[in-house]
Amino acid sequence: MQSLLRPAINKGTDTMKIIRSAGIGIIAGLIASVAVGCYRSPNTTWYEPHDYKGADDPLLSKLEQGGLHAQLDERVRAVQTDR
């Protein structure tokens, strides 16, 4: 009778071991994720006031080349003066 029950008892013990190790793994994972998620870098980003921090405007390089300015000046003479 006992020899008949031994495989079942062994099977139950193995299941418990698997459940226990899985539980430990889950708890460790939770602790790690909480620790990482709540971590806050002590380094701060310091910006100088009144320094534009956005993307570069491609128009700026066009205006610096000068050709566009001459074109705009010509336009002023063409359309802004009295007919």
Partner 1 sequence: MARMKFLCDVERCIECNACVTACNNEHDVPWDINRRHVVTINDGKRGEKSISVACMHCTDAPCAAVCPVDCFYTTVDGIVLHDKDLCIGCGYCFYACPFGAPQYPEQQAFNVRGKMDKCTFCAGGPLPDNSPEEYRKYGRNRIAEGKLPLCAEMCSTKALLAGDGTLVSDIYRKRVMKRGGSMDFWRWEAAYPGQGNENRSENDKEK
Report the interface residues with partner 1, using CB under 8 A: 47, 49-60, 62-64, 68-69, 71-73, 75-77, 79-82
Number of alpha carbons in the 13 Å side-chain half-sphere of residue 5: 3
Q: Cβ of residue 77: shortest distance to partner 1, in angstroms? A: 7
| Least separation in angstroms between CB 44 and partner 1 | 16
* Alpha-carbon torsion (18, 22, 24, 25), positive or negative: positive
Q: Shortest Cβ distance from residue 83 to partner 1 (Å)?
A: 8
Distance CA 2, CA 10 (A): 12
Nearer to partner 1, 37 or 49 (CB): 49
